[in-house]
A and B are shown apart, each in its own frame.
Chain A
Amino acid sequence: MAALEEEFTLSTGVLSAGPEGLLGVEQSDKADQFLVTDGGRTVVLYKVSDQKPLGSWSVKQGQIITCPAVCNFQTGEYIVVHDNKVLRIWNNEDVNLDKVFKATLSAEVHRIHSIPGAEPLVLFSSGAIRGLEALLAEPQQKIETLISDEEVIKWSKFFMVFKHPVLIFISGNHENYFVYVQMCKSHSLSKYTLLLGKEEKSITPKFTAYVDRKFISLMSLSSDGCIYETLIPTYSTDTEKNQRLVRSLVLKAVVSGGARNRTTLTNLDQDHVAVLGPPLPASKECLSIWNRKFQTLQSSKEFPQGTSGQLWYYGEILFMLHGKCLTVIPYKCQVSSLAGALGKLRHSQDTGTCSMPHFVNWEMCEGYELESHSAAQSRRILRRKKMEASLQPEVPGSEQLLSIINKDSEKHIEVELRKFLATSTPDFHTLLGDVITGLLGRCKAEPSFYPRNCLMQLIQTHVLSYSLCPGLMEIALERADVQMLQLCLQQFPDIPESATCACLKLFLSDTMQDEEMEEQTEVVQNGFSPKDSNCSNENQELSEKPGAAKTVSCPVTPKRAALLNGILHSAYSETFLLPHLKDIPAQHIVLLLQYLNFLYLKCSGNAAMTLPGVNPPTLSQIMDWICLLLDANFTVVLMIPEAKRLLTNLYKFVKSQICVYSELNKIEVSFRELQKLNQEKNSRGLYSIEVLELF
């Protein structure tokens, strides 16, 4: 579980952080020591565990440091550039920067990059790159121009990929962003065009990158608050100029889209990324750790005094400017267990003012932007192929199906869906979710569109649940499609009590009754189980019995009985069901009670206390429902004259049951006494003579 530990500040007395914040924080060759370069003239070497500066160097008045000081890990010297062109190299022992080694270069330096195990690289504003040694050998050498005049380097980073130093930088003009990858060994430079969304034009996204095997994974935090990932190959495939790079969505809405400047991100490891910025438009700035794999927020910390929108990360320590203070936050990430990775939800969810979900929903694809997302997804799947092979568009089956769903006729959809269901892909479940969401979305949009057969087919895959397609039962209820509802009741394990009750209402309603009359003849065609006819047959048999004291007849038609049985089987929790039961009209309550009473009488008719047929309601289900209904509506039912007889019957029944049980209790006590006597006989005392026969 990734976690941010207690932060502490470094004394910044000597630093003068400008409005732009610090120039940079860089590692030094000793662990725990970091070079901090402020926006003006000063470089400070800090020992972080002591929270103290070890040394501080300043350039002369009038000069200005233009590039953060770095450490040359090979020699242990520090390097800084001031006034764009003047390079200074000094040691820990040096006191005055004026008196140290100086080299004036012929072109403006953008940055010096240094990482352990490699020679420092100087990146010129023109895009040219030189090794430090080569440069110092001939400081005035001519520096070529690689990027066009309009382009400005926005961001750069230096990596080791398989022991080869690689420098990547991004430059941009007003229109486009380009990624340059410089392989230092082979001196090959690859250029890629970064394709960004439309909204990106005005604001430069923030970048971070890490090496993922053969690729450099470049992540960008766009002004819409989402993190996108772009994979850049570290080997140049061909010399073809201007390859394009597509990006895919990694995390959605990690910071508020409105935050313009003070956001940044940095990659922590394979799975975790730290994001700095306000999560909501109005909120304070926050440092959040996100797990990309599980799309969860792992940890978050608020910075009420504002930050400079800068974040540095070296070996488990995060640096940032909080207010005027340089803040150090140790970051720990243990090898993640699933529970750890799943993280926690942010507490500020209840503000309710923001329309954007500020944590990533598992069902991201649901609801909105279905198409774009699945497109992005498929793009992501194909990304590597694309890198290696051509850019030939290849539309997968599911995508095609989704587009068909959105446009074509019911018939066509049905045919295509059947084809789709016949194949089984590993992500069948998710695709099925996409498909049903697409169908339901279109249903809502076009009132005339109701692909009943498709939906039935989908339900019968046994994969769907209520929470996966909450709209399905709603639509079926709207259209009073009882068959669909019955199927849902059978198949879905997680129907909420409100939906169950809505179904019950519909099943009991008079419209049903009318329909029934019409459709009476085509019961079988509608797909009801043969159990129902059994039920009615037996019912008739029962009523035909001459000896029966009371003629018991089913108060509802077999069709309705089958539907009600579906309800009786559904799972519920009393507390949630009771309030909904109160909404059912009294007449319907009575009808249902009559039906339940009928079921009960049938049940108690045989010794096993069961009903005939396939999957009939059990006695306890029947009794529970009777109790529930009476609990919810007793006062109402009491007032209805039709219910009087029923209630009397039930009352008599309960009374007789109490009688029986009290008798049983008495018998139990006597039995216990008998058992005791028997035990005493068994214990026999200390001595006895018995007969034993061995066989």
Chain B
Amino acid sequence: MGEFKVHRVRFFNYVPPGIRCVAYNNQSNRLAVSRTDGTVEIYNLSANYFQEKFFPGHESRSTEALCWAEGQRLFSAGLNGEILEYDLQTLNIKYALDASGGPIWSLAASPSGSQLLVGCEDGSVKLFEVTPDKIQFARNFDRQKSRILSLSWHPAGTHIAAGSIDYISVFDVKSGSTLRKMIVDRQHLGMTKSKCIVWGVAFLSDGTVISVDSVGKVQLWDSATGTLVKSHLIANADVQSIAVADQEDSFVVGTAEGTVFHFQLVSVTSNSSEKQWVRTKPFQHHTHDVRTVAHSPTALISGGTDTHLVIRPLMEKVEVKNYDAALRKITFPHRRLVSCSKRRQLLLFQFAHHLELWRLGSTAATGKNGDTLPLSKNADHLLHLKTKGPENIICSCISPCGSWIAYSTASRFFLYRLKYVRDNISLQRVSKMPAFLRSALHILFSEDSTKLFVASNQGSLHIIQLLEGSFKHLHSFQPQSGTVEAMCLLAVSPDGNWLAASGTSAGVHVYNLNHLKLHCTVPAYSFPVTALAIAPNTNNLVIAHSDQQVFEFSIPDKQYTEWSRTVQKQGFHQLWLQRDTPITHISFHPKRPMHILLHDAYMFCIIDKSLPLPNDKAVLYNPLPPKDESDVFLRRTTHAFKISKIYKPLLFMDLLDERTLVAVERPLDDIIAQLPPPIKKKKFGT
């Protein structure tokens, strides 16, 4: 198949920010996840847990609470005192409203979704009405002594429970007055702590209030009488989060020790109607604090400081025991953070607030499979480019020739011209970039580095002509009338004639760049696109979807290629479809038109279209090289998928030239090493 020199890169020092909140939307089966840097991500649980949208973070915005209201409107609130609403179509922030109560610690939407409650630092609980295009302050509830850290509505919408420091209050929604105050015990294993923070509350329809607190207890209260009904001591550290199932037959809590406990309402004895909350299952999928949990009908979802989003299906709720019933651990974003200049062998790494440019090393030696070659020149860190302003970088790109770097934030677009004078590098910013380029979701340079393509969140595509030190706006493709769907993936053909763009939901449009018009639209597919690329010479568009299907669409013929039809007829190998990370990059071999190179986080694959497809009985991944088998055997077992799992977790892989690959790995151990130390737990003895 081929022998490659692989530049194995591990110096991309990327650490995903910790997870702060998750909010599950039952209606659309989507999960909103907010991270400590203010980033909000939307995962589509129906589309193989694909991260289909994201909102870039902001230094001054730390999201403390996240909730869905009015069906599928997403709100967040944070320590800057603002309530934000996110526009899920254009992927920007609709508006920010100051709640004027100081930092906001908690946010809860009423069961009907028409009202929002926020709990503030000054002890106030504020009620907002959700109007069709905004939210409007309605009134304040009785002011409490200290900050309101958690809020929960009674499912009937008549009462709310608010967790504060040392006590829980129950409010009547109609009057806004405090009905009950339930004092939480500060004792922890005989020691009295200075205070007990109620990290989470949950109001059940029978009037029970469940609280989780900083002394490690899960407590059940009767809100009618204000009495403690049951107390479970489950941790030596804080219990930080709670989520209740819609049926109120189970709930989940997360502790600072990284454990997630599942509680279920079970009969006291068989065939008795009396039921009792019992701690049923502990899960230890996290090493650090579990800051947040969610309870979907079929799974427990948890996330925390260790940056993993863990989705643990409940086996008793899963109807078909297929691959969906497996545990999912999502660590890396499902988009590219690395771009590469093939000609100059440069790598551009995108961080939240800066970019890094590295030049790869070289070697003169050769070797056989598995050898590590001696370096004649090591990799160089060329550039560290800090952003201006508090906003996170949305996307970035380096041109194939290596002389242009572009990136965008929510409010601005930056273009730099790089000049290489022997070993020195000079950087020059191109000024006066037009405002419409801001908050671009994808930036792409043409193969000859003369054109820049920008996909904006308003659904339009802009084409910029690059000149020496300046630019010229050539054309903008406006979105189809009536749609404002953001475009997030672009691909340009190497000959510069075609541009393919895909939006957040299904649908790939192909534009003719010579005539500057829409050429065709690829037939809609129900799963979102995860990667796009156009092959040289043939101009075949290869599309990878989140359900692990790969299509090949001939742009000139405006139809799927014969190979793609064959693949669809025969189907992919079962193991291929069971992979749980999406394909994030597709590229092609310049000399071998039959090859497609693609990778996800755990494997790198070359599909050789000239070879037969594997059936389910064939071994998909065979790490061992064939030894002395006869040719007949080889011919019989060889198939189109050549897979390598040596490099993982793989963030980026591309072909530099015919015989050279670059692989950017980010070992989990390196990430863990950069996290704060977890709470130490004694494992043995006393």
Contact = CB atoms under 8 A, between A and B. Distances in A.
B11 A686 contact: yes
A688 B646 CA distance: 14
A518 interface: no
18 contacts: A334-B269, A686-B379, A687-B9, A687-B11, A687-B378, A687-B379, A688-B8, A688-B375, A690-B8, A691-B3, A691-B5, A691-B6, A691-B370, A692-B370, A692-B646, A694-B606, A694-B643, A695-B642
Interface string A655-695: 00000000000000000000000000000111111111111
Interface in B261-317: 269
B369 A691 contact: yes
B368 A692 contact: no
Contacts of B144: none
Nearest to A685: B10
A335 interface: yes
B448 to A, nearest CB: 28
Contacts of B204: none
Contacts of B606: 694
Interface in B1-40: 1-11
Given A335-B269, A684-B8, A694-B1, A689 B646 contact: no
Interface in B630-681: 638, 642-644, 646, 661
Contacts of A335: 269
Interface residues of A, number: 14
Contact of A690 (B5, B362, B626): B5
A65 to B, nearest CB: 44
A335 B362 CA distance: 79
Nearest to A693: B369
Contacts of A686: 9-11, 379
Nearest to B374: A689
B363 interface: yes
Contacts of B6: 689-692
A695 B375 contact: no
Given A688-B375, A690-B8, A695-B626, 8 more contacts: A686-B9, A686-B10, A690-B371, A691-B371, A692-B370, A692-B646, A693-B625, A695-B638
A686 B643 CA distance: 23
B373 A689 contact: yes
A690 B370 contact: yes
A689 B1 contact: no
Contacts of A688: 8, 372-373, 375
B431 interface: no
Contact of A687 (B4, B8, B622, B643): B8
Interface of A: 334-335, 684-695
Contacts of B367: 691
Contacts of A685: 10
B276 to A, nearest CB: 16
A653 to B, nearest CB: 35
A3 to B, nearest CB: 15
Contacts of A334: 269
A694 B623 CA distance: 9
A687 B369 contact: no
A692 B370 CA distance: 6
B23 to A, nearest CB: 37
A686 B381 CA distance: 12
Contacts of A694: 1-2, 4, 606, 642-644
A334 B274 CA distance: 14
Given A335-B269, A684-B372, A691 B8 contact: no
Contacts of B8: 684, 687-690
B361 interface: yes
A686 B371 CA distance: 16
Contacts of A690: 5-6, 8, 370-373
Contacts of B4: 691-694
A686 to B, nearest CB: 4
A692 B642 contact: no
A695 B379 CA distance: 29
A693 B659 CA distance: 11
Contacts of A687: 7-11, 361, 375, 378-379
A35 to B, nearest CB: 34
A689 B377 CA distance: 11
Given A687-B378, A689-B6, A689-B7, A695 B625 contact: yes
Interface in B598-614: 606
Contact of A695 (B9, B10, B622): B622
A680 B2 CA distance: 28
Interface in B202-253: none
B376 to A, nearest CB: 9
A691 to B, nearest CB: 5
Nearest to A695: B625
Sorted from nearest, which 10 A-B pairs have the closest CB atoms?
Answer: A693-B369, A686-B11, A694-B642, A694-B1, A693-B3, A686-B10, A691-B367, A687-B379, A691-B371, A692-B6
A500 to B, nearest CB: 37
Contacts of B2: 693-694
Nearest to B667: A683
A692 B10 contact: no
A685 B11 CA distance: 9
Contacts of B643: 694
Nearest to B272: A335
A437 B644 CA distance: 72
A335 B269 CA distance: 10
A578 B424 CA distance: 85
B65 to A, nearest CB: 39
A335 B268 CA distance: 13
A693 B378 CA distance: 23
Given A694-B642, A695-B1, A695-B642, A689 B370 contact: no
Contacts of A684: 8, 10, 372
A232 B133 CA distance: 84
B198 to A, nearest CB: 37
Contacts of B646: 692
Contacts of B5: 689-692
A689 B3 contact: no
A691 B378 CA distance: 16
Contacts of A695: 1, 622, 625-626, 638, 642
Contacts of A691: 3-6, 366-371, 373
B122 to A, nearest CB: 48
Contacts of B626: 695
A644 to B, nearest CB: 45
Nearest to A337: B269
Contacts of B363: 689
Nearest to A682: B372
A685 B361 CA distance: 14
A340 B326 CA distance: 39
A693 B6 CA distance: 10
Nearest to A335: B269
B30 to A, nearest CB: 37
A686 B10 CA distance: 5
